[in-house]
């Protein structure tokens, strides 16, 4: 099973004291980002860390493993029901944080799923 969070970088807020580091000027007007910007070279690492912290709060069902890369999550295991339960728990938790998870970016438990552009086959 997989989960892909939409616009993850823009969901990670910057602390107020750090926002000045993300200031820029456009047409003589100064602006600053309040959330991680897409083009910042450390945004993937920071987004990965933020999601990892949230995933650590959700214990997977017995026999289920959760793998994560930036804003993509893979939930695996040998029992469909347990994988589905863990996937649902993760989605509910992330949505409670106002993260948007488009239904078309969620793959239910299956013998094959596409994760990080690769088809993974032979397990749930």
pLDDT digits over 53-102, tens only? 999 999 999 999 999 999 999 999 999 999 999 999 999 999 999 888 99
Burial grade of 97 (CB within 10 A; 0-12, 13-18, 19 or more): exposed
Looking at residue 123, what is its pLDDT?
A: 59
| Position 124 pLDDT exceeds 60 | no
108: domain CATH number is 3.30.70.270
Residue 97 falls within a domain, yes or no? yes
Question: pLDDT: is 25 or 6 the higher one?
Answer: 25
Domain range for 112: 2-11+42-116
Q: Strand 72-76 and strand 2-4: pairing?
A: antiparallel
Residue 124 falls within a domain, yes or no? no
Q: How many domains does the chain have?
A: 1
- Per-residue pLDDT, averaged over 21-47, amounts to 91
Q: Strand 29-32 and strand 65-69: pairing?
A: unpaired
Residue 19 falls within a domain, yes or no? no
Question: pLDDT: is 124 or 45 the higher one?
Answer: 45
- Per-residue pLDDT, averaged over 29-36, amounts to 92
Residue 32 falls within a domain, yes or no? no
Residue 123 falls within a domain, yes or no? no
Q: What is the pTM of this model?
A: 0.85
Distance separating alpha carbons of residues 113 and 9, to the nearest angstrom = 24
């Amino acid at each position: 099973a997989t989960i892909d969070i939409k616009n993850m970088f823009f969901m990670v807020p910057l602390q107020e004291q750090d926002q000045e580091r993300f200031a820029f000027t456009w047409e003589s007007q100064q602006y600053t980002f309040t959330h991680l910007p897409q083009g910042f070279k450390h945004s993937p690492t920071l987004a990965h860390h933020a999601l990892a912290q949230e995933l650590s709060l959700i214990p997977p069902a017995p026999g289920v493993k959760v793998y994560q890369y930036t804003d993509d999550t893979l939930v695996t295991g040998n029992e469909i029901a347990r994988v589905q339960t863990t996937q649902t728990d993760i989605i509910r938790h992330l949505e409670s944080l106002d993260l948007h998870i488009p239904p078309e970016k969620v793959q239910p438990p299956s013998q094959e799923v596409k994760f990080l552009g690769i088809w993974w086959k032979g397990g749930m």
